[in-house]
Amino acid sequence: MANRLSRSTSPYLLQHADNPVEWWPWDAEAFAEARRREVPVLLSVGYSSCHWCHVMAHESFEDEATAAYLNEHFVPVKVDREERPDVDAVYMEAVQAATGQGGWPMTVFLTPDAEPFYFGTYFPPEPRHGMASFRQVLEGVHAAWRDRRDEVGEVAARIVKDLGDRQSAYGASVTPGASELDAALLGLVRDYDAASGGFGGAPKFPPSMAVEFLLRHHARTGSDDALRMATDTCEAMARGGIYDQLGGGFARYAVDRAWTVPHFEKMLYDNALLCRVYAHLWRSTGSPLARRVALETADFMVRELRTNEGGFASALDADSDRADGTHAEGAFYAWTPAELREALGEEDAAFAAGYFGVTEEGTFEEGASVLQLPQDGPAGDTDRIASVRERLLAAREERPRPGRDDKVVAAWNGLAIAALAETGAYFDRPDLVPAALDAADVLVRVHMDDAGRLTRTSRDGVAGANSGVLEDYADVAEGFLALAAVTGEGVWLDFAGLFLDSVLHHFIAADGTLYDTADDAEALIRRPQDPTDNATPSGWTAAAGALLSYAAHTGSSAHREAAERALGVVGALAPRAPRFIGWGLAVAEAVLDGPREIAVVGPPADPGTAALHRTALLATAPGAVVAPGTPGSDEFALLHDRPLVGGRPAAYVCRHFVCDAPTTDPAALAAQLSG
């Protein structure tokens, strides 16, 4: 019999709808039931493409005896962290504070008032490696609740108080200047892995936002160190196993420091951020590798993550079935020499093994290898390489595919819109810009209500029940601002302004600090607030960036001041951990540079207009905003009182309230934007 999750729009929750565990979704009724029965709540948080979430589900939540005990003594609540990042953030903070680590699946025991008192992540079905079994944990918590209820309540109250005392107060901090950004660069240099690229050791995550800062810092200062770290890191990732050498796109992270073996799940947000980073790297250096990876990653998103409605799905699983019916991580992506021979024949298999680093010993599990690109192929082998890739990709398509989490997350679609719009414009791929427009249309039609408020997720064109959080408003605004610059359609600037007005009215405190949830959102045990960049830009730093760009477009002092106040957190956090505030550092670079405001006026069909528009889009000036349109157009404020020059299309560049002379020459415009 299906449990209460069968009515959910979350693919992750639906995966648990037929468990013998009598799951509840996160709602008031679940906690009312716990109060009625006088039992604790078991909160289990995960997401669809999480490998260990699936393992624990199979071992424990599908086990009839475990489920019966759980149902008798607890009210079990299942949460998709991607639908409810606010719930996840609050309790993950408690888990990390109590245990020193966190991750998913997250397992938290709560009082009927939602106060946490015992924490963990994955629990095995039997005692293992010093870990108690899940059944032992359940029995221990039940005994404590039954026999020491007052003590449990005191622990829960103390934890809630401690969480409340952690509220950030960065509003009085100063927006970082040049010296602070130079110091942040030195911090990244100290943490840089010169041998393998990236920062820190294993596991190693793609440092998208730190690389964006490095590219902007180089553009503003000419720093060789910044460009070298950005270039070498991007090349190492592109040549490693974390990058899909056949189909394009990046896995979530590498389990080793050399980017060889990935955790194979593919997330929309990683690929959107990295697509944009590689496009910006090409913009800075002209690297053919960066161009190829940006385009292949864009094609991957459109080919494998686009939904029927035109939005973009959240993720592909790490696991899939093997030919023998067993289920394993990486089964879709890894190759043995024998599998190469079967797909290519002896001669081409030997060539492919050398080209992609496939060995008899294997680089992964059971003699399989993850394809890498240790070096470029011999000159003159371009056609052979293309043929090998095409045949291997065709052979891989015959394998059982990983599952897809097809819910549409507003924030991550905003990131994808920005990446696809810019990549399409840079590389003359007109098919990518309509894909960005389609996704933007989904966000407006499905995710936005009549008051301009956003819903976090949708599925099959139906909006979910959860309100948008700060990152949704900020990242969608960022995507729409990029779309406006590429298309010249001012309606996207207008929508961005609508969402940023919601940020100003519902997410910002009087001292300039930001919260992850709106002031009228569901009240949790604390209002979540995290300024650090993790897998994506934090809502805090993403909002700062979008507010700054919108202010540059419109001249709004309210948006500019809000952006600068928000950036105080960068000055507070960058000295300790610059790689965890990378997007904030990138936005701070834009503040120092202006950002520059570029208006391009001219008839859309005029080649001169197109040349100036392209030059403006390819400017590396940090955070530069571009407003293209016809003279007298009311699409963008930056076009007001900007006529043609001598009857010819012209570009106007301003920053810090000072404007250069207009120019009709793309080369002169490029010179203005590089100084």
pLDDT, tens only, 429-469: 989 999 999 999 999 999 999 999 999 999 999 999 999 99
Together in a domain, 392 and 448: no
pLDDT of 172 reads 46
Q: Is 423:279 a contact under the CB 8 Å cutoff? A: yes
pLDDT bin (cut points 50, 70, 90) of residue 328 is confident
Domain count for the chain: 4
- In DSSP terms, 59 is beta-bridged to none
Other beta carbons within 10 angstroms of residue 428's beta carbon come to 8
Together in a domain, 140 and 37: yes
pLDDT, tens only, 468-501: 999 999 999 999 999 999 999 999 999 999 999 9
Residue at which a domain ends, from 132, 164, 196: 164
Together in a domain, 428 and 385: no
Together in a domain, 452 and 497: yes
505 φψ region: left (φ > 0), alpha (ψ -120 to 50), beta (else): alpha
C-alpha pair distances (Å), 123 with each of 74, 76, 95, 106, 397: 17, 15, 14, 10, 35
pTM for the model: 0.94
Asked if residue 226 belongs to a domain, the reply is yes
Asked if residue 327 belongs to a domain, the reply is no
Together in a domain, 194 and 247: yes
pLDDT, tens only, 166-197: 665 555 467 899 999 999 999 999 999 999 99
Instruction: Answer whether residue 138 shows pLDDT above 50.
Output: yes
Q: Rounded to an integer, what distance in angstroms lies between the CA atom of residue 334 and that of residue 330?
A: 6
149-158 long-range CB contacts below 8 Å, 24 or more apart?
A: 152/111, 152/117, 153/111, 153/117, 155/117, 156/110, 156/111, 156/113, 156/115, 156/116, 156/117, 157/115
Domain of residue 76, residue span: 4-164
The predicted model gives 64-90 an average pLDDT of 95
Residue at which a domain ends, from 164, 189, 208: 164
Q: Rounded to an integer, what distance in angstroms lies between the CA atom of residue 244 and that of residue 320?
A: 16
**CA-wise closest residue to 674 among 571, 577, 574, 598:** 598
Together in a domain, 652 and 541: no
DSSP readout, 511-539? TS-B-SS-TTSPP-SS-------SSS--H
Q: Which residue did the predictor score with more confidence, 297 or 633? A: 297
pLDDT of 166 reads 66
Q: Is 201:193 a contact under the CB 8 Å cutoff? A: yes
CATH code of the domain in which 136 resides? 3.40.30.10
The predicted model gives 298-311 an average pLDDT of 98
The token pair at 247 is 């189909």
The predicted model gives 502-520 an average pLDDT of 94
Instruction: Answer whether residue 652 shows pLDDT above 50.
Output: yes
